[in-house]
Amino acid sequence: MRYQNINCEPISAPQRFDVEADGLAEALKNALQKTEKNLPKFVHLYPSACSEKSWYRAVPNATTELGSDWTAAFWTGMLWLSYEMSRNELFRAVAEAQFDDYAQRYDAFQLMNHHDMGFLFIPSIVAQYKLTGSRKARKLALKAADVLAGRFSERAGIIQVRDRDIQGAFIIDCSMNVPLLFWAAQQTGRHDYYVKGLRHMVRVAECMLRADGSSYQCFQIDEVTGQPVRGWQGQGYDDASCWARGQAWLIYGLALCYRYTKDLDFLYAAKCASNYFLNRLPSDLVCNWDLIFTQDEEQRDTSAAAIAACGLLELHRQLPAQDAERNLYLNAGRAITVRLAERYTADSAVTDGLLLHGVYCRDKGDGGLGDDECCIWGDYFYMEALVRLSQKDGWNPYW
């Protein structure tokens, strides 16, 4: 086994995740209603990455305003999820109208010089292709995959973050961009897409997943020698801690990587990352912003909790029926979603977001960004978790 040096700690007190889930249908209904209410504000403008005093700013598809250069598609993805669940043609019409914004962004190559092509084009344009069969959507998504593939460093074996970053730098967030390459490989038969995605995820598991099942957010590989240089935490508390959203990206990304590759090593790595995450939750099962904090008094990050819920549900789906922990991951993903719905949502008089108490960047003396606010990716993944749990026969992921 490739990652046998990683300790897969047992999940403590699994009965924590045995919760009543009767309210999830109503939670999904409320999410759809709020999304529909927000439609007039966000047609060719998009919710900012994070809210200000619980209200999103309307920003262009391509902008650095409030750190929104990578987040537009989460709103478009919410429209596609809403269309799937309601068959309300209004959701589809607005989502399809937004295609031009992504096409113009690609043509102008505006804020495209980074690794977040998956975040930008999977919930929006790949989703459009999967749901409607649009040939133009398929073509644009494959162009975006080319951009992502072009960021691959052959010697380092990684997809580099941004042009301005140090050579050989990659971050754990990219685990959710790699599915764009796997999808493109399936669509075209081009093996190079698959190999680049696979090699990147091998590096993620080798370098970012630590021996105890925790993770670094950031890592550097020397592009000349191909040797690991160092890992660090970036948005986490410190280099020895474990940033909750990074761990959530890792759980989901590894589960998706197994779905595409069927490499059992990734399934094992996903379980190690998941168990570490689940063993460090506060009493309400909604993670704090860094997993070094396990008590109830610290700042939650509901956006990380929503991502992790989707990752756990995907992991349950990929595990064989005989796996002893398979249903535990289902219970945990469902329980986290229930607690988000019960305790971290609010009506439209209070916010236009779905989830309160998210964190973009925690204020560590530098002012932070979106600290204790709504985060648009948190809203998207919360809705995705609700959709996953509503579909007994399984939901076809956009990722």
DSSP SS3 for 153: strand
Determine which one of 18, 69, 107, 116 is catalytic. 116
Determine which one of 18, 22, 69, 173 is catalytic. 173
- 116 catalytic? Reply is yes
Q: How far is the C-alpha of 72 from the C-alpha of 88, rounded, in Å? A: 21
Pull the structure tokens for residue 179: 């599915």
For 218-242, b where at least 16 C-beta lie within 10 A, e where not — what string?
bbbbebeeeeebebebbbbbeeebb
Q: What angle do CA 152, 156, 157 make, to 5 degrees?
A: 55
For 60-81, b where at least 16 C-beta lie within 10 A, e where not — what string?
ebbbeebbbbbbbbbbbbbbbb
383 CB-contact burial (10 Å; exposed 0-12 / middle 13-18 / buried 19+): buried
Q: How far is the C-alpha of 384 from the C-alpha of 77, rounded, in Å? A: 9
Contact (CB, 8 A) for 376 and 384: no
Q: How far is the C-alpha of 162 from the C-alpha of 7, rounded, in Å? A: 32
Active-site positions read 116, 173
